Amino acid sequence: MTTLQDCLALDAQDPLRELRRLFTLPQGVIYLDGNSLGPLPAAAPARIAQAVTQEWGQGLIRSWNSAGWYELPRRLGDRIAALIGAGADEVVATDSTSINLYKVLSAGLEIAARDAPHRSKLVSERSNFPTDLYIAQSLCKQRGYQLHLVDSDRIEAALTDETAVLMLTHVNYRTGAMHDMADLTAKAHAAGVLAVWDLAHSAGAVPVDLHGADADFAVGCGYKYLNGGPGAPAFVWVHPRHTGRFCQPLAGWWSHEAPFEFTPDYRPAPGIARYLCGTQPILSMTALECGLDTFAAAQPLGGMATLRRKSLALSDLFIALMQERCAGNGFGLATPREHERRGSQVCLTRKQGAYAIVQALIARGVIGDFRAGDGAKHEDILRFGFTPLYTSFADVWNAVEQLRQVLESGEWQRPEFDRKHAVT
């Protein structure tokens, strides 16, 4: 049996233990939902206040130059690039994941239409995050493509000479299962298919090597593991071999070669800046930079490799403790046990009561979340994200202990825990 003492000993040896100080977490809360909304970086309130009172208040419009506002999408893009195996000048932080996906899917379909006009399908996974599928549906309709959705074990079989683009999310939001990006990209390319990756649950959570995998396009999220704050700008990456070949359809003035010439005709910016659209939310960009600073602090301690090692140790511990302390309560495990197939979250399944159990846990200060099953094959899911920057091994032990008590006392069956909120 693993004891709390064992977990405290693991914390004492953890090279990342000091980084928890970089976050403001409420007293008495164990936060296992950083995969959905990262917590507040401790430096963010003062930094954002400075951006408001000094840069906006005093600097006024001069701050576009003097405070570097105009450069923020590129500057933050370069910092994100370092976390995802992309090069300098290849990433911009901008807009939302959904919008960036629209841009890169448009580019992928356009380039495929030129290089391989007979190909008519866009392939994705049925269990992909819905917004990705909705954007894909909309684009397929506009451009006369067919959206072909498959289960994860049928992806390779769908890479035929009818397929133009493969769009996948690297780590599945419901199960925490991770694809082998390099392998699937290589198989896509061998079949003449372009590979678009959504890194929403990967950037800042697992090591990503876009160039190593030779991916074609990628997008990702700023408010999950990157701790950029609610609605933080997302990011977009395009392999340099494609950047100059297409002007994405949301060709606003920030994507122009010389926006301040104010010319009536459009000339796309030469590099990744052509994936910008219009004026960016500078205060949100400022918050995202504070989130990225928390990763910079992990750099001298080994960066993503050290973060990944701890993330796997935390999720392994959670799985082991669930077996030791909560067995026989009807839970299954949706997340793969193999390290190379697991992201940074653990998803439990349960036929009934998943929502109420999550609510009862939240009432005890253990914050995870719930994702509904699709009725047919999938059971409901209790989702727990393990973020090595601020989660301790003792947190994992205490979270499982709280879950054990919620189950043993039966308190999750109280009616107030079954009331559905607008956001789950």
Ligand X SMILES: *Cc1c(COP(=O)(O)O)cnc(C)c1O
* Positions in the binding site for ligand X (CB under 6 A): 96-98, 129, 131-132, 169, 173, 198, 200-201, 221, 234
383 a catalytic residue: yes
| 12: Cβ contacts below 8 Å, ≥ 6 apart | none
Cβ contacts of 227 within 8 Å, gap of 6 or more: 23, 34, 38, 39, 41, 204, 290, 291, 294, 389
Active site residue 224: yes
- Could you tell me the end-to-end alpha-carbon distance of the chain, in angstroms, rounded to an integer? 33
Q: Which member of 79, 103, 119, 224 is catalytic? A: 224
Minimum separation from the CB atom of position 197 to ligand X (A): 10
Greatest CA separation for the chain: 71
Of 147 and 320, CB closest to ligand X: 147
Going from the C-alpha of 117 to that of each of 36, 154, 184, 194, the distances in angstroms are 39, 24, 22, 13
Q: Which is nearer to ligand X, 200 or 367 (CB)?
A: 200
Q: Are 35 and 387 in contact (CB under 8 A)?
A: yes
Nearer to ligand X, 96 or 152 (CB): 96
Q: How far apart are CA 152 and CA 338, in angstroms?
A: 16
CB of 412 to ligand X, least distance (A): 27
Give the residue with the Cβ less far from ligand X, 188 or 232.
Answer: 232
CB 227, min distance to ligand X, A: 14
> Please, what's the b/e burial string for 99-114 (b: 16 or more CB within 10 A of its CB; e: otherwise)?
ebbbbbbbbbbbbbbe
Q: Which is nearer to ligand X, 43 or 133 (CB)?
A: 133
Tell me if residue 129 is catalytic: yes
Q: Is residue 62 among the annotated active site residues? A: no
Query: 3-state class of 103 per DSSP?
Result: helix
In whole angstroms, the minimum distance from the beta carbon of 81 to ligand X comes to 19
Which tokens go with 247?
Answer: 């002007």
Is 216 tagged catalytic? no
CB of 63 to ligand X, least distance (A): 26
Mind telling me the catalytic residues? 129, 198, 223-224, 383
